[in-house]
Amino acid sequence: MEPSPKITPDSIRGAKARGERIAALTAYDYPTARLLDEAGVPLILVGDSLGMVVLGYPDTTQVTLAEMRHHVAAVARAKPRALVVADLSYHTYETAQNAVANAHVLTQAGAEAVKLEGGVAVVPEIKALREAGIAVMGHVGMLPQHVKEDGGYKVKGRSAEQKEQLMADALAVEEAGVFALVLELVEPEFAGEITSRVKIPTIGIGSGKHCDGQILVTHDLVGAFPWFRPKFAVAKADVAGAIRAAATEFVKEVENRS
Ligand code: KIV
C-alpha cells in the first residue's frame, strides 16, 4: 500500500472544498506527536498553551520564543505526516519584520507553518510572513495572549458590535493569505456564519459544531491536566488518574520491598 502523502498547508486549505472535517490537536513533545500521527490527526499544533499545561505558567503570556523553539524541535523529531504548526508566542510579532525573523526561528526548528492571534491588526505581519514564503494559520475570537486585557476567557460574537469586528477580522486574515482560521470561543451560530462566508477552513475551539474542523488541547482530551479543563472539552481518557495510580502502586511496592 502507498504511504499516505505528507499533509501540507494547501491540503488543509483544500479540505473545505473536499467536504473533509479537520480534527486538530496540540503536542509539545516527541511521543505525543508520534501517537497523534499514528491516530491519523492531520494537523498538530505546538500551541503556546504549552505555558499552562506543560510549563506551569498561569496563562500563555509568559511563554518565550526559546521555549516554543525547544518544543517545536521535539515535535518535529517525530517526523509526522501531520502538518506541524507552531504558535508565535506573545510579543514576537509586533512588527512585520520581527514576525518574519521569529517565524524563521520556529521553521528552522521544524515548524511547517506558524499561527498568530488577531485580525485586522495583524494583517501586515501575515502579509510579510506570506511574502517570506511562510504558511500562516489565523486565530480570531477570544485571543488567549490578550486574556489579561480582556479580564478572562469570554465568548465573543454575542453583540452586534463584536459580530461586525469578528467578521471583519476573519475576512481580513483570509484576504491576507492564511490557509486556515482558528475560531476560539466564538458564539456557535456566529461561528457558523463566519464558516459559510470564508473559503478557508475554520477550526473551532469552544465555538460549536458549525466550524469546518475542531481543535483541542490534547491534555484536555486525554485528562492529563486535571486541575483545570474548559467546559467545552470532554475528556476521553484519564491519563492523570493512570499516572497517579501507577505511581501510588510503585511507591507501595518499593515500601513493601515487593
Ligand atoms: O495554544 C493553543 O493550544 C491554541 C489553541 C487553538 C488550542 O492556540
Residues of the chain with pLDDT under 50: none
For residue 117 and ligand 1, the question of a CB distance below 6 A is answered with no
Compute the residue count for the chain.
Answer: 258
Residue 224 in any domain: the answer is no
Residue 89 in any domain: the answer is yes
Closest CA to 33 of 68, 70, 79, 67: 79
Q: Which of 112, 125, 174, 184 is catalytic?
A: 184
Grid coordinates in use for 231?
Answer: 467546559
Task: For residues 243 and 234, give the distance between their C-alpha atoms in angstroms, rounded to a whole number.
Answer: 19
- Per-residue model confidence (pLDDT) at position 30: 98
- Per-residue model confidence (pLDDT) at position 2: 72
Query: Is 169 in contact with 139 (CB distance < 8 Å)?
Result: no
**Tally of domains within the chain:** 1
Residue 187 in any domain: the answer is yes
For residue 220 and ligand 1, the question of a CB distance below 6 A is answered with no
Residue 119 in any domain: the answer is yes
- Per-residue model confidence (pLDDT) at position 4: 83
Grid coordinates in use for 195?
Answer: 464558516
Q: What is the CATH number of the domain that holds 34?
A: 3.20.20.60
- Give me the domain span that covers residue 40: 9-216
Residue 239 in any domain: the answer is no
- Per-residue model confidence (pLDDT) at position 93: 98
